[in-house]
Structure 1
């Protein structure tokens, strides 16, 4: 999809080409730092995370972190960018399964819910976005990429006859984005996202009948 290919929408683009051999160790160290930082930010938040703790978790020196990241703020922003870089491949994999447009929307959001439940990088990014006013540098704007992508997918669903004739794809996208990210935040706050798939299923069963045309089976 066009939206999934735009670095400005989803965050920093990750090249599909591997780094030169002499850069491989640096790449591995950077990923190790990002993974350790994600776990720290997800558990403790921005203010309570220190670079010392990140270094200890990663099993490296604090100086090694500074070789890759200017400061804690830059590291936090990089975690968020890394999170957004996950989505284009996940979107493409879902679209390649040969499902119809409505099935694609439902399957995609279920996969995203699973990623939010299981991936510390995504969990850290979600927490950092909530704390963005305390970080001090700009972070990628949340929700825009998902709203644009779902607008396009709901547009396809409308053309395929799955949406009510009076249902705007843009409005459907805004409602689903609000509902989805609302449940992920509530699920995180109350149950550490253990019940996010159940909460998403409730949204699907209650909201999609108001979006879809009469007689359309909700996947």
Structure 2
């Protein structure tokens, strides 16, 4: 058997690996629906968004939405869950930069600010969290994960001598989370988040000197 004939079955296997075509189409349709829903929820909120409007934006039938999502509540919860799935990627990227712990916190939240400014999925999730009482099904609890993550990073900063003496990492984490998400909410209410990066820079200029050793 020639070398070529020996490798052909393996080459064919590589070419045909991956999900079946109908599964890939289903995945693409689901992502299309999520993107359209994110725009509608971010702009109009939960109560004023209809599945018909989502279908129109996605240029699909309303029945196609029901193939993937039970109802509007389920679609809203899926948008929020998809938003939370974005953060581990940003956290990993920030960690890969090799910065000291306190600088990792800053680098990470800088990226998060840009994501809030530019990503309709994140904007929709933020609005849905504010309107969580009207949705009627449980959503992930906001802020807790961020507070724990920043607490862990700031403990590392304290061990590295980056925090001023007497600065408790868990307290600093709560303050940073409150400041950051307060900024994003105010920026949203006043300027549709167009100035979030600048407003976050102002907070850093005032807050970080009080934390850094």
- Which runs of 5 or more structure 1 residues have no equivalent in the other structure? 1-17, 214-219
In the alignment, the residues of structure 2 paired with residue 96 and residue 30 of structure 1 have an alpha-carbon distance, to the nearest angstrom, of 31
Match of 1:192 in 2: 192
Provide Cα deviations, 1:154-196, integer angstroms capped at 9, x if missing partner: 0111111010121111101000000000000000000000110
Return closer, same or farther for 1:32/1:94 CA change in 2, 3 Å cut-off: same
In the alignment, the residues of structure 2 paired with residue 104 and residue 139 of structure 1 have an alpha-carbon distance, to the nearest angstrom, of 28
Return closer, same or farther for 1:19/1:115 CA change in 2, 3 Å cut-off: farther
Provide Cα deviations, 1:87-136, integer angstroms capped at 9, x if missing partner: 00111011101111121111100000000000000000000000000001
Return closer, same or farther for 1:20/1:154 CA change in 2, 3 Å cut-off: farther
Q: Which of the pair has the greater relative contact order for Cα pairs under 8 Å at 6+ separation? A: 1
Pairwise CA distance, 1:19: 4.5
Equivalent residues, number: 196
TM-score (norm 1): 0.88
Secondary structure at the residue paired with 1:86?
Answer: helix
Match of 2:159 in 1: 159
Structure index of larger Rg:
2
Match of 1:125 in 2: 125
Q: How does 1:42-81 map to 2 (within 5 A)?
A: 42-81=42-81
Provide Cα deviations, 1:1-47, integer angstroms capped at 9, x if missing partner: xxxxxxxxxxxxxxxxx755441111100000000000000000000
In the alignment, the residues of structure 2 paired with residue 210 and residue 20 of structure 1 have an alpha-carbon distance, to the nearest angstrom, of 55
Q: Does 1:84 align with 2:84?
A: yes
Q: How does 1:102-117 map to 2 (within 5 A)?
A: 102-117=102-117
- Which runs of 5 or more structure 2 residues have no equivalent in the other structure? 1-17
In the alignment, the residues of structure 1 paired with residue 98 and residue 185 of structure 2 have an alpha-carbon distance, to the nearest angstrom, of 31
Match of 1:39 in 2: 39
Secondary structure at the residue paired with 1:162?
Answer: coil
Pairwise CA distance, 1:73: 0.3
Match of 2:14 in 1: none
